[in-house]
Amino acid sequence: MFETRHVEIHGHRLAYRRAGEGETIVLVHGMAGSSRTWRDVMPALAEHHQVVAPDLIGHGSSEKPPGDYSLGAFASSLRDLFDVLGIGRATVVGQSLGGGVAMQFAYQYPERCDRLVLVSSGGLGREVSWMLRALSLPGAELVLPVVAPAFVRERGNSISRWLRDHGVRQDRAAEMWDAYASLSRPENRAAFLRTLRAVVDPGGQAIDASDRLYLTQAMPTLIVWGDDDAIIPVAHARAAHEAMPGSRLEIFEGVGHFPQVEDAPRFVEVIEDFLASTPIDTPVAARVG
């Protein structure tokens, strides 16, 4: 149903998954992730909507060229994907790094973004996990091949498959493992570090959209976060909600950085309710102007 497809954009292969019909929802994953992070929610969402989940350039099955890995570049490539797939407008859902991309997309192309959903989003404050800050330091290129060698990935994948085959749910740990395991490949490490250093420095997140949140006041916005998020604190969700009059805030108790994986049924329920309660009849640009 959600097999991986590819398109070529500006000479580079970009992977995506697509299924369903109706109003379009675009799902944007986080750093070192891929469209697989949405695997537990895509089928349910596709029952009533067209769902598109890309692998951002430098991630998943997409090409990993040297170049620009800024939020603006990701937003532009998302716009290009819309054009190639014939998508006029969509609700854009972004998790972690994907939240920063979603916000940037909404700022750059408001006429293409019907609604905004920020899930454990980056770009809403300085604080971020110490590990990401450490990996932004010079010399991380030399450390990553040592801490993420291929044999560790292969052994870990075997254990993960065994657990899945025996019905053991892994949720948060599985998502963290997928991100870690991807760094055993040299091209993935290079793309990861380019992406990381575009948004994080040793002091924390280098990109903070808090002073521009008022620009989304005409756009229906949902903020979803886990209260046990050890990567980006839930305080960012509450501060963003206060700065965005009319936004909706959903805090998942006992959930970490991956609400779409750790509590997929509730995630789908919240998204569907948000869509149903915020009907879109005209583009945002027309509503603002």
Name the region of 204 (left: φ>0; alpha: ψ -120 to 50; beta: rest). left
* Residues 123 and 199: beta-carbon distance below 8 Å: yes
Neighbouring C-alpha atoms within 13 Å toward the C-beta of 79: 18
Name the region of 184 (left: φ>0; alpha: ψ -120 to 50; beta: rest). alpha
* Residues 206 and 60: beta-carbon distance below 8 Å: no
Q: Which residues are catalytic?
A: 96, 229, 257
- The radius of gyration of the chain from alpha carbons, rounded to an integer in Å, stands at 18
CA–CA gap between residue 175 and residue 159 (Å, rounded): 14
C-beta neighbour count of 227 within 10 angstroms = 13
CA–CA gap between residue 59 and residue 182 (Å, rounded): 9
- Token pair of 263 as six digits: 């509590």
Residue tagged 């991807």 (tokens): 182
Of 17, 36, 21, 64, nearest in space to 191 by CA: 64
CA angle 188, 173, 202 (to 5 degrees): 55
Please list, in sequence order, all residues whose beta carbon lies within 8 angstroms of the beta carbon of residue 22, skipping any fewer than 6 positions away.
Answer: 48, 49, 50
Of 56, 48, 68, 73, nearest in space to 17 by CA: 56
